[in-house]
């Protein structure tokens, strides 16, 4: 079995009057692409944010690269990166300026060469001098990904990276992520509520519902477990059974 990259034990996160993550445990190994899926509000983003130290857990233990997160925050973050459809880079700077800042922030060696290489890989070399705020959403997703790959992360966390993209661009981004993962052996955690996304890209999925993992395995295993034809059907079944439960409670 490959080296363990992320270990989460009994993670719980409560906000004032919501339990965002109830009790979640999982382990992720080097080189895996793991999808966190579930309906809106299932706790995907919260889980990712706890893994990145943006939010502190109410209970539970998190180890990344075998180290305790809280006591090794900076060392761990140096080897991780993050991209999301809901964050952006400063819009009035040029693309290369933004990338330079993050290259320096992560203390990337040979950052000029590294940036060129990534821009090429992501097919956005021509955008280098463009003002970041003028990019289309497909372009800015790729620029965000470029930022997220600058430090050669061993662990990449992606929160709905394809959320604002049309199906064509989304497909391109997925293929690209697959390729990057194959070439660089990056471990990825990927959240989405787009089931096709997940089926295509993830080696393994963790199905979250109301802050709990209700199914886990390869996409096919999860589909079989629910005796459905696709993850989308599983998703709908889970969502509707949730509605049923609520109705029964009434």
Partner 1 sequence: MNWHRISALVLRYTFLYTRSVPRIVEMFFWPVMELLVWGMLTQYLQTGPFKIPGFIKFLLGAMIFWDILYRSQQATTLSFLEDIWSRNLLNIFVAPVRISEFIVATYCVGFVKTLITAAGLSVLAAVCYHFNILSMGLALIPLFLNLLVMGWAVGMVTTGMIMRWGQASENLAWGIPFLIQPFCAAFYPLDSMPAWIRPISLAIPATHVFEGMRAVLAGQGLSFKYVLCAAGLNLIYLTGAAIFFRFMYGKARKQGLLAKLGTQ
Ligand X SMILES: Nc1ncnc2c1ncn2[C@@H]1O[C@H](COP(=O)(O)OP(=O)(O)O)[C@@H](O)[C@H]1O
Residue whose tokens read 């993550």: 21
194 binds ligand X (CB under 6 A): no
Q: Which of 4, 7, 67, 78 binds partner 1 (CB under 8 A)?
A: 78
For residues 209 and 37, what is the distance between their CA atoms, to the nearest angstrom? 8
Task: Between 151 and 194, name the residue whose CB sits nearer to ligand X.
Answer: 194
x/- mask, ligand X, residues 57-76, rule CB under 6 A, reads: --------------------
Interface with ligand X: number of residues (CB under 6 A): 11
| Residue 43 binds: one of ligand X, partner 1, Mg ion, none (C-beta under 5 to 8 A by kind) | ligand X
Taking CB under 6 A as the rule, does residue 45 contact ligand X? yes
Identify which of residues 45 and 151 has a Cβ nearer to Mg ion in the complex.
45
Q: Is 29 helix (H, G, I), strand (E, B) or coil?
A: strand
Letters for 19-58 (x = contact with Mg ion by CB under 5 A, - = none) are: -------------------------xx-------------
Give one DSSP letter per residue of 114-158, joined into a string: HHHHHHHHTT-GGGTTSBGGGS-HHHHHHHHHHHHHTT--SEEEE
The answer to whether the Cα torsion of 145, 57, 187, 226 is positive or negative is: negative
Spatial contact of 47 and 34, defined as CB atoms under 8 Å apart: no
Binding mask 33-52 for partner 1 (x = CB under 8 A): ------------xx--x--x
| In contact, 52 and 82? CB cutoff 8 Å | yes
Kindly tell me which residue out of 33, 42, 52, 143 binds ligand X, with binding defined by CB under 6 A.
42
Give me the least distance between CB of 89 and partner 1, in Å please.
Answer: 6
Helices and strands: H and E segment counts in the chain: 9, 10
Q: Which residues sit opposite 39 in a β-bridge?
A: none
* The token pair that represents 34 in the structure block: 């793991």
Q: How many residues bind partner 1 (CB under 8 A)?
A: 38
Name the helix (H) or strand (E) containing 241.
Answer: helix 231-249
Asked if 148 contacts 81 with a C-beta cutoff of 8 angstroms, the reply is: yes
Q: What are the residues binding partner 1 (CB under 8 A)?
A: 13, 15-16, 20, 45-46, 49, 52-56, 73-75, 77-78, 80-82, 84, 86-93, 97, 100-102, 104-107, 147
Q: What are the residues binding Mg ion (CB under 5 A)?
A: 44-45
Q: What are the residues binding ligand X (CB under 6 A)?
A: 15, 18, 20, 38, 40-46
């Amino acid at each position: 079995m490959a080296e363990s990259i992320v270990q989460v034990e009994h993670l719980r996160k409560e906000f004032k009057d919501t339990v965002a993550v109830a009790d979640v445990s999982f382990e992720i190994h080097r080189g895996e692409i793991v999808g966190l899926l579930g309906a809106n509000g299932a706790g995907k983003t919260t889980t990712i944010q706890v893994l990145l130290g943006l939010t502190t857990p109410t209970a539970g233990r998190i180890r990344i690269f075998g180290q305790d997160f809280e006591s090794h925050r900076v060392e761990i973050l140096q080897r991780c990166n993050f991209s999301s459809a809901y964050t952006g880079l400063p819009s009035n700077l040029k693309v290369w300026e933004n990338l330079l800042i993050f290259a320096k922030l992560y203390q990337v060696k040979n950052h000029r060469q590294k940036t060129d290489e990534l821009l090429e890989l992501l097919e956005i070399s021509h955008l280098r001098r463009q003002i970041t705020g003028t990019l289309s959403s497909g372009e800015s997703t790729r620029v965000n990904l470029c930022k997220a790959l600058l430090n050669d992360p061993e662990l990449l966390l992606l929160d709905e990276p394809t959320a604002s993209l049309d199906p064509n661009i989304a497909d391109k981004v997925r293929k690209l992520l697959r390729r990057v993962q194959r070439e660089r052996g990056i471990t990825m955690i990927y959240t989405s509520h787009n089931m096709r996304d997940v089926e295509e890209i993830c080696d393994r999925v963790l199905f979250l519902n109301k802050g709990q993992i209700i199914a886990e395995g390869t996409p096919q295993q999860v589909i079989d477990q629910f005796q459905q034809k696709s993850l989308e059907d599983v998703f709908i079944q889970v969502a509707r059974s949730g509605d049923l439960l609520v109705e029964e409670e009434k």
